Structure 1
Amino acid sequence: NGQVITSRVIPHSPKSADIHVLLNLTAPFYTHHIDAVSKITNGLGEEKRLYYSPLFAVPVFTGKLKEKESCSQKSLPFPVINNPGIMNIVTKYEQEVEQDKFLRIRYYYSGPRYHKLGKGFLGFESVTELNDLNSTRKQAFYKMDENRFYVYNNKVEVRSTVNDYHPLISIIEKNYGFRNYNVNTNLRFFPFLISSIINTYNGESYNQETPIKRHKKVFEQYDDYGNPKLITDYYGNGSSGWPISKVSSISYLNLNNSTIYKTGLIAYQTDTYKKTGEADKISRKEYSYYTSTGMLESKTTEPTNPKKYQNHYTYDLFGNPETTTLTGAGMEDRITQTIYSSDGRFLKHKINALGHVTLFDYYKKTGLLKTITDENNLITTYDYNIFGELTKTVEPDGNVTRIVKRWTIPGTTYHHEDAPETAYYYVWKKRSGSSEKLTFYNQFGKKLRNVSINLNGSLIYNDLVYNGKIETLPYLSGLLHQTSLPYFKGGSPQWKTFSYDELQRKTRIEKPDGSFSTIAYEDNTKTVRDFDGQVKKLEYNGADWLTKVTNNGSTYVTYRYYSNGLEHETKINDIEETKISKYYDDFGNLELYSDYNKNGSTTYIYNPFGEIEKETKVILDDEDKITEFHHDKLGRMIWRGSPDGEISWIYDTKPNGVGKLDYVQYTPANGNVTTLKEDYFYDKYSRMVTDKQILNGDEQQFSFTFDIHGRIKQTVYPSGYKVVNIYDNDGFLFERRDGKEKKLWHADAMNANGYYTACKLGENVATTRNFDDASGLITNITAGWHGSTNNIQNFEYKWSTIGNMEYRKDLNKNLTENFTDYDAFNRLTNSFVSSSSSLTIGYDNVSLGNIVQKSDVGDYTYGTNPGYDAGPYAVVAVTNPHGTISSTKQNITYTNFDKVK
């Protein structure tokens, strides 16, 4: 108990007398001056503290926060004893969460094990961590193999300490095996993990038996080098069955000769995905290595598939990659080259498959990137401070972005006038021609405020507030509590507020307009409830795949997956006619898309590099519509051919435009247009300055010029008409003029959200827009001229808290359109204009939610024969009660790219 030990009796064996050892004190058993770190303070003044005690002065954790003042004594096999000798251990760690306020993590130890014949201290039977930072109790248990005296972690149990009954959060269990190198001795061996199981619980009770989620990992068939040849991952809910699994079969290359020793190199891996009710999915990869170095020579994806592809690698003398070659059947090789400096330290050149070269230069002392020169010889330069942080970027056109960190310590001359009270430093950022932006942080590195400049130089704040130390609910300490909407300096902020549960998950979000939503977690479901009664329930399986979404307890969408986790099909309310199915090839590319509601399906064919080559729209009782695609060596699409015509993308190879589009040409299959070509021209900074469009030989040209900061200054239309953009000193567009300096548009005011609120059209028409501060929704639009503010337009809007429009008024015409009723899904059901009769909309609330009736149109009928006629979302007839529609059936045809003809 922390006192000096002067003698001890050590039991030797059952057949011999005890050994009495006399201990002579030559130094204090424990001193505060041990050579150990007790406090860490960073440059911002944030503190972390460590506390130590002698092992036998440390309380032992033995259950629900019960402590006793001695280490547990347990009968152990010779030569292992409970006494580890003199040992100082960490008993407490304190983390500063608010100025001079700390939360602690306490550590408790049980069952020390000490090997007297040379192995020394082996470890503890258990270590318990009581963490006030997240209000959890984490207990790690250790097991000892008594033949080899090897101690390993076999169980970790995490519980919440928010409630007195300490509900279970998770349990991790591990099982180890051993292999001896010598048959008759345990002296030389290696331990290996046989299995691990992670059980996750909902935190409802102390002895919860059924987990809500489980993940089991099993390792089998270890080779002589300790590599597992078979690894199986199992996923499930509840306590029985593993509906989802992944089996990885691995073969290894172990290089062990006089020149190289490299083991565990994966030579071949087959992953087999399994899921109840689904066919197995298999993925294969093959690897080869240079036997002289052990470096990866090639990786082949799906080696048994005719469309397999391979990455082949070569290296320089320093082991840096020199070439990467992508190959595939019927494909031209795509080679990427990288060239390093003569000492092997720095990447100097990168050459893509088309020969485009990018150059890199570095600061040799720090290894930081100095310049990048792109394929058009445009140079970007970077500067850093002594800490290696980026402080300056110079773009090819000379524009500069600077980033600086500065102090703003409260109560000192360094305090910035825009800094929140607890800010310690800020980051200042500015680009040429634009306004400065400031971000303030507290001493713990958490963002407190963004400051930006608005039109006319007004300052805009966006604040973040965090919880301080909360004694009664410590797990909430330091979490984000509120964020403000952007607001003007000196104004009143509007706040969004967050609440959390004991696992630090968001449980409530309150918005400044009075609306809110709550989030509840139960087993594998998450339920979001809005203040207006809207409820969305999301359900997940053991692999965290979303399986079902239910809205307001009625309409629901189900998701079905393949065994490898790719989405297989979706349905609404389990109605077959709403089914969407997806099929994939061995590489995970979408191979077939079938929407039961559409008249047919779409299939896709890919080249070995995963680029689409052919798309076929299979339409029942009609000719298939086929679209083909070609790509260049960089994977860019260069040609597409369809029944509607051909389109080509030609990329530039001339100076200033390398890698950019040269022109696009479209040749329709029929019609009056024979060809449409669009040419692009670039300036010395690779900015597009001319867009030339040619239609049947008729040329139309758009031209652009830029100001010194790279912004579009002037646009010249084919007619010769010019529009000139004018920016203020902070980079805001505030005026447009024509080529004769006549004003077309002028901005006078902007709100904190960045919306223009006062503008002029031409010289005389003044417009205003007002927005609600809390919701950001528009409330008024006015326009007037000749001294009036609203004789052209005078609109007023009102919204509900949820964001549904309640009415809109034209005050000049004394007209009001009222939107009086919405249903549980926020769909409009009733509206009327001033004193006119109401217009109603009815919906199918039983299945799909389609509109079934409009009072001013009639009754809607939907298709019932998807794949041949029309599906359940397609209107096939409208019965009009007023007889104003001559036909009750409307036929619609579409182009092959799903546009109405």
Structure 2
Amino acid sequence: MTVNSKATTISHDIFQSQKTITTPENRTLTTQYDPNTLLTERVSIPGLYDMSYGYDTRGRLSSVNTNTRMTEFTYNAQGFLESITDPEDHTATYDYDPVGRVTGVNRPDGSTVGFTYDRNGNMTVLTNPSTVSHGFGYNRVNLNSSYQTPISGGYQYVYDKDRRLIQTIFPSGAQINNLYDKTRLTRIQTPEGNIDYTYLCGTKVGSITKGTNTITYGYDGSLVTSETLSGALNQTLSYSYNSDFKLAGFSYAGSSENYTYDKDGLLTGAGSFTITRNIQNGLPESVTDNALNLSRSFNGYGEIDSQDFTISSSLTSWDLTRDNAGRITAKTETVDGITSNYIYTYDPMGRRLTATKDGALVEDYSYDLAGTRTHEINTLRGISRSLAYSDEDHLITAGTVTYQYDYDGFLARKTDGSDITEYDYSS
């Protein structure tokens, strides 16, 4: 297949049960499959570890293996997914009702998320690991018509006969109304005022107006070529594209930036910056301009394992070690010639537990069953505090700082000693 003189080829070796895609930059992706079932067995990209796939006797995916990282899947007697075990040997299991709907997710930390359904299969209750429930209601055509929060109250959603959302009612009683012509949204009515939409051909938005402020759009076919702002700000943003319809230029307020790409469509230049990519797989290995140089290396999983940032001389660099889940477990960082070593630990849900710097504990965290952080120690920032939350997971206290929320669940006030910050919101 050739597009704009750039050829992508797909070769199929039936005897080797192998397919290879070769990009215009001569990068390859090779797939090995089982000739009997046609199921993919291995995917290979040069410079990265191969990914191999295992299946059970019924052709269901049972494992994904990349070098030392393996994710495993099991199924129950009814054929539904029963468990997933990640590369760190953490397992999540799934419970089902008689018709195959998930009723519970049993997570690696021992907590459970529960689900309840109506007769049409709509989820009506979600119960989090702290046994706090969120309720959902539906109309006769199974559109979400209500949401009952644990504390703040209920949201209501109203639809027209074409099943378009026409009204949202907040717990406080505030409303947002949507108005339509035969097919398109023309106005949103909010307590603060209206937002009006005009259209060009079909469903292309021509302008959006709120009060005295308007954004007008220009197009070349389906591509946006300009955004003209009038009102509080009077400026035009202009966009140009290359023959592959990728953004080639952007201008605003007398300044402009240009963008370049390789034959595979990967970004290689942005303004004064040049991006150099790995010849085999396209990963970005360096970013440079006249002064700055950012260089990176990647491991076989495609994850960054080192970075060096220089302006004439090295400013900062680091090397990373990861566990089988891809999380950073160790970092050696050099800043202005001073080297520090960090070690990180995580709980079974992947949440940060501790961090040490040169052997000394500098971060320590605790979490509740819902996953919200309940205690934090950060010696580098001078922080040691407990945190408390509402049943809606709103932060209520963080040390001596308290937070209050309005009827709709939005943060309304923050109190820090004698300092009070109040917040107002638009709809």
**Fold agreement, TM-score > 0.5:** yes
Deviation at 1:378, TM superposition (A): 0.8
State the partner residue of 1:652: 322
State the partner residue of 1:535: 214
Q: What is the CA–CA distance in structure 2 between the aligned matches of 1:752 and 1:546, rounded to whole Å?
A: 39
2:65–2:71 Cα contact (<8 Å) kept: yes
Question: Where in structure 2 are the equivalents of 1:780-859 lying within 5 Å?
Answer: none
2:365–2:374 Cα contact (<8 Å) kept: yes
Question: Where in structure 2 are the equivalents of 1:197-208 lying within 5 Å?
Answer: none
Q: What is the CA–CA distance in structure 1 between the aligned matches of 2:9 and 2:99, rounded to whole Å?
A: 43
Q: What is the CA–CA distance in structure 1 between the aligned matches of 2:395 and 2:242, rounded to whole Å?
A: 51
Q: What is the CA–CA distance in structure 2 between the aligned matches of 1:385 and 1:319, rounded to whole Å?
A: 33
Question: Where in structure 2 are the equivalents of 1:554-703 lying within 5 Å?
Answer: 555-572=235-252, 578-594=255-271, 601-607=272-278, 608-618=280-290, 624-643=291-310, 644-653=314-323, 658-668=325-335, 670=336, 674-683=338-347, 686-694=350-358, 699=360, 701-703=362-364
1:287 to 1, 5, 10: 10
Partner of 1:564, secondary structure, is coil
Which letter maps to 2:386? V
Which letter maps to 2:31? H
2:342–2:356 Cα contact (<8 Å) kept: yes
Which letter maps to 1:517? I
Aligned-residue CA RMSD in angstroms? 3.0
State the partner residue of 1:724: 386
State the partner residue of 2:39: 320
Deviation at 1:400, TM superposition (A): 0.9
Which letter maps to 2:229? N
1:603–1:616 Cα contact (<8 Å) kept: yes
Over 3 Å counting, the alpha-carbon distance change for 1:570 and 1:726 in structure 2 is: closer
1:497 to 143, 163, 177: 177
1:651–1:658 Cα contact (<8 Å) kept: no
Aligned residues: 419
Q: What is the CA–CA distance in structure 1 between the aligned matches of 2:395 and 2:158, rounded to whole Å?
A: 33
Deviation at 1:462, TM superposition (A): 1.5
2:128–2:370 Cα contact (<8 Å) kept: no
Q: What is the CA–CA distance in structure 1 between the aligned matches of 2:205 and 2:412, rounded to whole Å?
A: 40
1:639–1:646 Cα contact (<8 Å) kept: no
Which letter maps to 1:528? S
1:350 to 55, 58, 64: 64
1:270 is the counterpart of 2:8:
no
1:433–1:731 Cα contact (<8 Å) kept: no
Q: What is the CA–CA distance in structure 1 between the aligned matches of 2:296 and 2:277, rounded to whole Å?
A: 10
State the partner residue of 2:22: 300
1:287–1:300 Cα contact (<8 Å) kept: yes
Partner of 1:487, secondary structure, is coil
State the partner residue of 1:482: 167
Over 3 Å counting, the alpha-carbon distance change for 1:337 and 1:528 in structure 2 is: same
Deviations 1:108-129 (A, max 9, x none): xxxxxxxxxxxxxxxxxxxxxx
Deviation at 1:771, TM superposition (A): 4.4
Structure with the bigger RCO (C-alpha within 8 Å, sep 6+) is: 2
Which letter maps to 2:407? A
Deviations 1:757-791 (A, max 9, x none): 467657xx69684747xx36xxxxxxxxxxxxxxx
1:363 to 76, 93, 104: 76
1:753 is the counterpart of 2:408:
yes
Which letter maps to 1:557? L
Which letter maps to 2:30? N
State the partner residue of 1:704: 365
Deviations 1:381-416 (A, max 9, x none): 1122233222211101111111111369xxxxxxxx
Deviation at 1:706, TM superposition (A): 3.1
Q: What is the CA–CA distance in structure 2 between the aligned matches of 1:547 and 1:479, rounded to whole Å?
A: 30
Question: Where in structure 2 are the equivalents of 1:450-529 lying within 5 Å?
Answer: 450-454=147-151, 459-468=152-161, 477-484=162-169, 486-488=170-172, 493-502=173-182, 504-513=183-192, 515-523=193-201, 526-529=205-208
Partner of 2:338, secondary structure, is coil
The structure having more radius of gyration, on CA atoms, is: 1
Which letter maps to 1:509? I
Q: What is the CA–CA distance in structure 2 between the aligned matches of 1:652 and 1:533, rounded to whole Å?
A: 53
Deviations 1:519-562 (A, max 9, x none): 112348633353523222112222x0111222239632222111
Which letter maps to 1:478? R
TM-score normalised to structure 1 length: 0.43
Q: Any gaps of 5 or more consecutive residues in structure 1?
A: 1-268, 273-281, 409-423, 469-476, 595-600, 619-623, 738-743, 777-901
Over 3 Å counting, the alpha-carbon distance change for 1:648 and 1:545 in structure 2 is: same
- Paired-residue identity, %: 18
TM-score normalised to structure 2 length: 0.87
Deviations 1:320-371 (A, max 9, x none): 21111112xxx3x520011111x2422111111x320111001243x22110
Which letter maps to 1:630? S
Deviation at 1:434, TM superposition (A): 5.4
Over 3 Å counting, the alpha-carbon distance change for 1:407 and 1:590 in structure 2 is: closer
Q: What is the CA–CA distance in structure 1 between the aligned matches of 2:421 and 2:256, rounded to whole Å?
A: 48
Deviations 1:93-136 (A, max 9, x none): xxxxxxxxxxxxxxxxxxxxxxxxxxxxxxxxxxxxxxxxxxxx
2:144 to 431, 442, 447: 447
Partner of 2:153, secondary structure, is strand
Q: What is the CA–CA distance in structure 2 between the aligned matches of 1:445 and 1:589, rounded to whole Å?
A: 42
Which letter maps to 1:301? T
State the partner residue of 1:714: 375
Over 3 Å counting, the alpha-carbon distance change for 1:498 and 1:317 in structure 2 is: same
Which letter maps to 2:145? L
2:402–2:416 Cα contact (<8 Å) kept: yes
Over 3 Å counting, the alpha-carbon distance change for 1:552 and 1:324 in structure 2 is: same
Deviations 1:127-163 (A, max 9, x none): xxxxxxxxxxxxxxxxxxxxxxxxxxxxxxxxxxxxx
Deviations 1:673-725 (A, max 9, x none): 5123332123455442211134xxx9452222334444333223439974223
Over 3 Å counting, the alpha-carbon distance change for 1:465 and 1:709 in structure 2 is: closer
Q: What is the CA–CA distance in structure 2 between the aligned matches of 1:675 and 1:310, rounded to whole Å?
A: 39
Over 3 Å counting, the alpha-carbon distance change for 1:587 and 1:708 in structure 2 is: same
Partner of 2:206, secondary structure, is strand
Q: Any gaps of 5 or more consecutive residues in structure 2?
A: none
Which letter maps to 1:642? F
Over 3 Å counting, the alpha-carbon distance change for 1:529 and 1:350 in structure 2 is: closer
Deviation at 1:566, TM superposition (A): 0.5
Q: What is the CA–CA distance in structure 2 between the aligned matches of 1:436 and 1:270, rounded to whole Å?
A: 54
Deviation at 1:478, TM superposition (A): 3.4
Deviations 1:148-204 (A, max 9, x none): xxxxxxxxxxxxxxxxxxxxxxxxxxxxxxxxxxxxxxxxxxxxxxxxxxxxxxxxx
Partner of 2:265, secondary structure, is coil
Which letter maps to 2:220? N
Deviation at 1:750, TM superposition (A): 2.4
Q: What is the CA–CA distance in structure 1 between the aligned matches of 2:370 and 2:100, rounded to whole Å?
A: 27
Over 3 Å counting, the alpha-carbon distance change for 1:552 and 1:290 in structure 2 is: same
Over 3 Å counting, the alpha-carbon distance change for 1:659 and 1:593 in structure 2 is: closer
Partner of 2:117, secondary structure, is strand
Partner of 2:116, secondary structure, is strand
Over 3 Å counting, the alpha-carbon distance change for 1:467 and 1:437 in structure 2 is: same
Q: What is the CA–CA distance in structure 2 between the aligned matches of 1:558 and 1:758, rounded to whole Å?
A: 40
1:390 is the counterpart of 2:67:
no
2:356–2:363 Cα contact (<8 Å) kept: yes
1:649–1:664 Cα contact (<8 Å) kept: yes
Q: What is the CA–CA distance in structure 2 between the aligned matches of 1:709 and 1:479, rounded to whole Å?
A: 34
Question: Where in structure 2 are the equivalents of 1:415-430 lying within 5 Å?
Answer: 427-430=124-127
